[in-house]
Amino acid sequence: MPTHPLLLAARELWEQLAHAPGSFPPPGGVTVIVSPDSGLCPPGWIGVVALGGSALVSAPDEEAAAAVRTALGGLPVEALLDAASVRGVLPVAGMLGPAALSYASPEGFRPVTGPATVERLPGGHPDLRALEEASGEDDSAEASLDEITSPAFVVRERGRVVAAAGYQAWPRRTAHLSVLTAPEARGRGLARATASTAVADALATGLLPQWRARPAASRRVAATLGFEELGAQLSYEIAQGGRAAIPA
């Protein structure tokens, strides 16, 4: 895959989150680093980010890194992001992902006009919390709308917020998108409308929009807006005592 500005920016972001500048290997390669404070995963877990056909893997300590190198050595990059493949070679106690990572450039962004008026609200507005409650715990956790640092861009129906988008400020001037639509309002283009407004706002201030998603529907919205899917992220926890069970 050619190294273009979006890919370079994405790799530099995740290298900074891993506290390992310049650690992404050439295409087809895998680098396993020890980084106790890595932002690629929850504390104590293994974090995998693949971008442009190469992967950066962070481990909390040298013992875990050695176990991962032994278990995953020789696997192609795409297998590192396959939950079944990882579970086949490592004793996994918990897993998050995989989630696709997509990015938008000013030139590639395709704004859309939605079927309803998009309104701006403060990020902590109580109407957003009402939307999260209506959407359920799983969908709200996936969207992380409560973590946005930008304004919220919302659509109302009968006075109630039924769709919202915003972004959280991440390192290296990255705007991490959050998008949430109430269950009864899905399939009508409201996610595209609110997200388009949020992305336009981020680009206008010189930020790099990042879209991380597991559901196929969310990935389709990103593609519609011109995001390029450059890789994926996976995090997992090795079961207690599992490292010792991995043959050297």
* Predicted confidence (pLDDT) per residue in 73-110, tens digit: 888 999 999 999 999 999 999 999 999 999 999 999 99
* Model pLDDT for residues 118-139, shown as the tens digit of each residue: 999 999 899 999 999 989 888 8
Residues 134 and 83 in one domain: no
Residues 168 and 192 in one domain: yes
The DSSP bridge partners found for residue 178 are 166
Q: Give how far the C-alpha of residue 26 lies from the chain's centroid of Cα atoms, to the nearest Å.
A: 22
Handedness of CA 210, 208, 40, 140 (dihedral sign): negative
Residues 129 and 61 in one domain: no
* Model pLDDT for residues 206-224, shown as the tens digit of each residue: 999 999 999 899 999 999 9
Q: What is the DSSP string of 27-51?
A: TT-EEEEE-TT-TTSSTTSEEEEEE
pTM value is 0.92
Look up the domain containing 39 and give its range: 5-100+231-245
Report the distance separating Cα 57 and Cα 71, nearest Å: 13
Residues 153 and 237 in one domain: no
